Amino acid sequence: MSTELPEPAAPPPTGAGESSPAPTRRTFIATSTALGGAVVAGGVIGGTFLADPEEATAAERPPSSRVSLTVNGTSHTVTVDNRTSLLDLLREHLGLTGSKKGCNAGACGACTVLVDGRRHNACLTLAVRLEGAGVTTIEGLADGDQLHPLQQAFIDQDAFQCGYCTPGQIVSGVGCIQEGHTGSPEEIREWMSGNICRCGCYVKIVRAVEQTADRK
C-alpha cells in the first residue's frame, strides 16, 4: 500500500465491530489537524508555526524536500518543509497520534519510535533525513486485534496511570528487549531511563518489560 500526500489522513480505526457514528475526541482531533495542515500549508506539509516577523519573507516559500519512507509497513512519499520532525509528520500529517509530544527536546522519550529497528526520539529526527527508512510506531506493534506481548504486559502489570508516556515506554521497551538489556530489574531501569513517567509507574513498567523479555 502506498499513499501520496497531501491528502486527508484517514482517522484512526475506532476498533473492530464498533459502529458508533458519533466522532470520538480522537477522530475529531485527527481529522481537524489533517484538514488544517492541508489548508495552511497549501500542498507543502509544514511542521512549524512561524511567529517571528523576520521569518515572514522566508516563510512564503520555506525550503522543502521530497522523501519516501515506510511507516508501519505502509510506504509514503511526502513533500515536507525541511523543519518538519518525524514526530510532527506522524502526528499532524499521517494521523498517527500514538507517538506523543512531551518535551519536544529529546528529554522525555514520549515520542520514541523504531527507525530501522532502533529506538529513536522522533522529535529530534528531521523527516527529510528518512529517505528509504522504515519507521515503526506504537500503532504498528499489534498484529490485527492481537496486542504485542509488551502491550498486553502493560495491561497485565497495570503499568500506567495517565497513559501519556505509555506509547513511548512500550516502543522503547520493545527496543530494550531487542537490544538484550533485560538481565535484571536494575539493567532494565538503566536502559529504559530515556523514558520519563511523571505518574511514577516505573516499578510496574520494569515488571512489564521483564514479563515480556522472559517469555521471548
Partner 1 sequence: MYPFAFTKASDTREALNAGRDGGRYIAGGTTLVDLMRETVERPETLVDITGLPLSEITVTERGGLRLGALVTMSEAAAHAKVRTLYPVVSEALELSASAQLRNMATIGGNIMQRTRCTYFRDVTADCNKREPGSGCAALHGVNRTHAILGTSDACVATHPSDAAVAFAALEARVHLLSPEGARQIPFAGFLLRPGSTPQHEQAVRRGELIAAVEIPALPRPLRSGYLKVRDRQSYEFALTSAAVALHVRGGVIREARVAAGGVGTVPWKLPAVEQHLVGERPSGTLWSAAAAMAADGARPLQHNRFKVELLKRTVERQLRIVGGTK
Q: Is 79 in the site for partner 1 (CB under 8 A)?
A: no
**Min CB(64)–partner 1 separation in Å:** 9
Q: CA 88, 145, 147: angle at the middle one, nearest 5?
A: 70
Nearer to partner 1, 110 or 153 (CB): 110
- The residue (of 131 and 214) whose beta carbon lies closer to partner 1 is 131
Distance CA 125, CA 209 (A): 25
- Burial environment of residue 24 by CB neighbours within 10 A (0 to 12, 13 to 18, 19 or more): middle
Longest dimension (CA), the chain: 57
Terminal C-alpha separation, the chain: 30
The helix or strand, by DSSP H or E, that contains position 4, with its residue range, turns out to be strand 2-4
∠ CA 10-121-80, rounded to 5°: 50
Question: Which residue do the cell numbers 498484529 mark?
Answer: 143
Beta bridge partners of 78: 67
Determine which residue in the list 4, 7, 190, 214 makes contact with partner 1, applying CB under 8 A: 190
**Per-residue mark of binding to partner 1, 135-174 (x: CB under 8 A):** -------------------------------------x--
Shortest Å, Cβ 145 to partner 1: 29
Q: Minimum distance between the CB of residue 94 and partner 1, rounded to whole angstroms?
A: 20
Phi, psi of 126 (to 5 degrees): -80, 130
The answer to whether 194 contacts partner 1 (rule: CB under 8 A) is yes
Residue appearing with cell numbers 529530534: 124
Q: Shortest CA distance to 127 belongs to which of 93, 94, 83, 96?
A: 83
Among 10, 35, 40, 58, binds partner 1 (CB under 8 A): 58
Which of 72, 81, 99, 213 touches partner 1 (CB under 8 A)? 81
Does residue number 119 form part of the binding site for partner 1 (CB under 8 A)? yes
Q: Which residues are at the interface with partner 1 (CB under 8 A)?
A: 48, 55, 58-59, 62-63, 65, 81-83, 85, 104-106, 109, 112, 118-121, 124-126, 128-129, 131, 172, 175-176, 179, 181, 189-195
